Amino acid sequence: MHVAIAPAAPDLGLLADALSIPILAQHVDNRPAGPSTGWLVPEELLASGGRGSLVNHSEHPLAPIEMALTVERLTEVGLCSVVCAREEQEATLFSQTARPAYLAVEPPELIGGKVSVSRARPEVISHSVLAVRRGSPATHVLCGAGVQDAEDVRKALELGAEGILVASAVTKASDPEKALRGLISGFVSRR
């Protein structure tokens, strides 16, 4: 099992130095290295110790061509991409055009909520998994949006996802470590 975190940009280098797990950016810009004041370019992310980036999160969406070019730039520099898709149609398009390392299926209306996509709309996960496997067999599918506990993790895995993408279940928890351990137990208890 692998765990990575995507902290705020100012913390990338500090956490990459302090932790042994992969550190991802929450967003990276498809800009050339050099005169790019105000942008986070892949080369800067790599130099800070980052290992990859989320791309196209619902809070920072990109046009499909920009998303594909950003994934291409990350790959060229040797960084991992975790592309976010809202539903099966985007999962199909993104897996065929960008072939990211990871694709997280996250219906925006469920992000930050108390009901996981694996419970509210399980077909979004299962259909997206099939679409991604057809379009880019090497891409790993993650389940995001509303994942709260070990049961949500188990259900996502049953639907074909290989992992999860979470934020609020941990960051809003009164005991974030306990919340994270609870989520991880969903993977362990499945073995």
pLDDT by residue (tens digit) across 14-27? 999 999 999 999 99
Last residue of some domain: 81, 97, 113?
A: 81
140 is catalytic: no
Domain that holds residue 93: 86-191
Q: Is the pTM of this model over 0.85?
A: yes
Catalytic residue among 43, 87, 90, 106: 106
Q: Which amino acid is at 136?
A: S
User: Which DSSP state fits 5?
Assistant: B
Of 66, 63, 25, the C-alpha closest to 47 is: 25
Residue 23 sits in the same domain as residue 77: yes
Has residue 189 got a pLDDT over 80? no
Q: Residues 121-131: pLDDT tens digits?
A: 999 999 999 99
57 is catalytic: yes
What's the CATH number where 27 sits?
Answer: 3.20.20.70
Residue 102 sits in the same domain as residue 15: no
Catalytic residue among 57, 87, 90, 127: 57
Of 41, 48, 55, the C-alpha closest to 22 is: 48
Query: Is the Cα torsion angle 123, 106, 160, 183 positive or negative in sign?
Result: negative
